[in-house]
Structure 1
């Protein structure tokens, strides 16, 4: 059975837990040096809708609507709305830093001077999960909040008239005036001056239900409803993989093979740059990584892989996979299928990587811009694609601990 991250109150255990969660945030997705982001994100959105690689902890999915809902309750006008929300978000930093669990705090280093607020990171996910009902972008929501107040005022008048006639108010009309889900749990009494990342059972059940309703066919929903958190390196290594649906298994198989194949392309890119820099130690290091990749490469699986089916699965209106990207991927797969171990001596395969990077980066290409090459840190996109799994693991663990928390009477 896979190991499970667990909340334990003893100090030494708490520190160990925090360090383990912090280590997950270091497993970032590969940098998109070769323009594979559209395929990667299409897989990730199908598997784990509403998530992103910059989300840290699950309770931010409640912190954000709690702050905005409190401002709406006060009928704060549009001219002050965004300013006050900004202040309240920045005010979360210190209370979270004062808690026993600081892993994933936005502003841990910058404090109140943080440049990216949680609301901007979680806004899309809040909409995908159906917690946010307003259809507007965050900026437009700020600007149009006075309109929302007017619609609610009109609704109250309609409800009064309806009650006088003995009629019911149209539920759709009522929902259309809401910015946030009507069953959003109430925040703790001391919020936001005192807060931590531990979800109450009610909060966890609310988020679980939102995911189930909004994303019922996703792997995320299945994991939320049926599985314990698994500390594995990739979603296809999950201990409950055998119980996944055929649809999820197919999606994960294509995601895994795409990750395996294109990892070799990223390693080739790094080897070539190290050679160009005449950095023998880096060449040796990246060559060793390449050799490890070829030694474990599932060649027969890749040769039997239906690439046409890959493109069918990654057709997504939100992530346009260009013909150029499809051509690059297909050519690299073709070279890989012939002989993975010869890719670093195959002139066509090497030039394919070089041309791709030059096309994407233009004058900033490290192959043609000496300054860009000199500024290269020695590692670019060497991590395997795992489709936000390190972040998803933390979110799932937060949810699992909340679901299993003793209910406070």
Structure 2
């Protein structure tokens, strides 16, 4: 069979989005119950290119190429190891040497872990120029895509990757803690790959990030260029606006839940009515919402993901909801808004709708897609915090 170079952008992106969707589905408060995921992800990609809800710690950006190099060193041995073999060794090493480290991939499954770091981090590694996106045998790759990507052409990794610590992979000095030289390198690599992104601004900021609740709350917004600032402000307003639709959806479920005399969740109707009132008060008091240029917002997200143009039902639902933000009185009881949200959820889920399926209603735990959109900020905050901590360790040791 003749080997050939083949680009994998589509395959890798599809894998990442599928896994990210499954991860979001597992988190009940973060589910995309109303079909706005394309717009949500467009904002996420605009602000934080390469990031994903699957990424756990920054040092995996180095652990993966280190594992690949370790596997390559065994190529001529009697029993060569694949990238997957080495990654599983590292899982066991981390669990033995740094069991208290948060975010170890495979912490529960150990060496039996299926979703390996090389797969989870693949798209980000390519986006930040740490890995190159070509392979020398596409057929072999396609046979392996069910679990992992293990065979790459020579020159897969950028030569400037900092060296692995002594004893790797049977020892991982520092665990998932990023060292000072690694922090400098990661910052340079990410900023160079996406210099105008909000991620670059946050990464280069000296402001503490651990306690910043939302991307738009970070001081780096004020120092960003006008287009980046506009993207972040659009994301804030979109998150705030669509949170009301999510709360109304949960109120509809809560009413149906209580009407069915289900009691595992206590007082959901009163709770969601109260949350809708609080949301309406926040919307009414927001200084920028009334002057929000939604046409420019749509232009930005559709430019990021042109497939949004091919989803007219989602655009209609979102645009209709955004159009009522100036009339918030009695929103929880407005028949038109209830119908808008109900019809949207049913059109997406069909017979699996909680508003139709009594068995699914009984399994409701009190929150389904009720969390405000944060556009992967929780994961970004962890990754950036790791890198900042590494950089600060250099200053402390100076």
Return the TM-score normalized by structure 1. 0.79
Report if aligned partners of 2:44, 2:375 keep a CA contact under 8 Å in 1.
yes
Match of 1:11 in 2: none
1:233 to 204, 208, 213: 213
Cα distance between partner residues in 2 of 1:51 and 1:387: 10
Larger Rg: 1
Match of 2:179 in 1: 200
Cα distance between partner residues in 2 of 1:114 and 1:266: 34
Report if aligned partners of 1:51, 1:392 keep a CA contact under 8 Å in 2.
yes
Cα distance between partner residues in 2 of 1:288 and 1:146: 54
Equivalent residues in 2 for 1:45-84, closer than 5 Å: 45-75=45-75, 84=82
- Per the TM alignment, residue 349 of structure 1 is displaced from its structure 2 partner at its CA by 0.4
Cα distance between partner residues in 2 of 1:395 and 1:374: 38
1:235-257 deviation per Cα after TM superposition (whole angstroms, max 9, x unaligned): 11113432222222211111011
Cα distance between partner residues in 1 of 2:289 and 2:100: 43
1:302 to 282, 285, 289: 289
- Per the TM alignment, residue 75 of structure 1 is displaced from its structure 2 partner at its CA by 3.2
1:371 to 327, 337, 359: 359
SS class of match (1:217): coil
Check if 1:253 corresponds to 2:233. Answer: yes
Equivalent residues in 2 for 1:311-350, closer than 5 Å: 311-316=298-303, 318=305, 320-321=307-308, 322-339=311-328, 341-350=329-338
- Is the deviation greater in 219-228 or in 261-270? 219-228
Return the TM-score normalized by structure 2. 0.81
Report if aligned partners of 2:105, 2:117 keep a CA contact under 8 Å in 1.
yes
Report if aligned partners of 2:71, 2:86 keep a CA contact under 8 Å in 1.
no
Match of 1:152 in 2: none
Report if aligned partners of 1:269, 1:354 keep a CA contact under 8 Å in 2.
yes
Cα distance between partner residues in 2 of 1:32 and 1:319: 20
Cα distance between partner residues in 1 of 2:61 and 2:275: 38
Cα distance between partner residues in 1 of 2:304 and 2:178: 34
1:263 to 239, 243, 253: 243
Match of 1:113 in 2: 112
1:259-296 deviation per Cα after TM superposition (whole angstroms, max 9, x unaligned): 00100000000000010111561111222221221122
Report if aligned partners of 1:31, 1:381 keep a CA contact under 8 Å in 2.
yes
Match of 1:277 in 2: 257
Cα distance between partner residues in 2 of 1:337 and 1:326: 19
SS class of match (1:241): helix
Once superposed, what is the RMSD of the aligned Cα atoms? 2.8
Q: RCO greater where, 1 or 2, for CA within 8 Å and sep 6 or more? A: 1
Residue 267 to residue 319, structure 1, CA distance change in 2 (3 Å) = farther
1:396 to 376, 384, 387: 384
Match of 2:37 in 1: 37
Cα distance between partner residues in 1 of 2:29 and 2:87: 26
- Is the deviation greater in 50-59 or in 300-309? 300-309
- Per the TM alignment, residue 29 of structure 1 is displaced from its structure 2 partner at its CA by 7.5
SS class of match (2:216): helix
Residue 189 to residue 141, structure 1, CA distance change in 2 (3 Å) = farther
- Per the TM alignment, residue 306 of structure 1 is displaced from its structure 2 partner at its CA by 1.6
Cα distance between partner residues in 2 of 1:123 and 1:362: 34
Check if 1:355 corresponds to 2:355. Answer: no
- Per the TM alignment, residue 118 of structure 1 is displaced from its structure 2 partner at its CA by 1.7
Which segments of 5 or more consecutive residues in structure 1 lack a partner in the other structure? 1-25, 149-176
Which segments of 5 or more consecutive residues in structure 2 lack a partner in the other structure? 1-25
Cα distance between partner residues in 2 of 1:194 and 1:145: 22
Cα distance between partner residues in 2 of 1:93 and 1:387: 28
Residue 198 to residue 188, structure 1, CA distance change in 2 (3 Å) = same
Cα distance between partner residues in 2 of 1:120 and 1:146: 12
1:127-166 deviation per Cα after TM superposition (whole angstroms, max 9, x unaligned): 1000011335994596997783xxxxxxxxxxxxxxxxxx
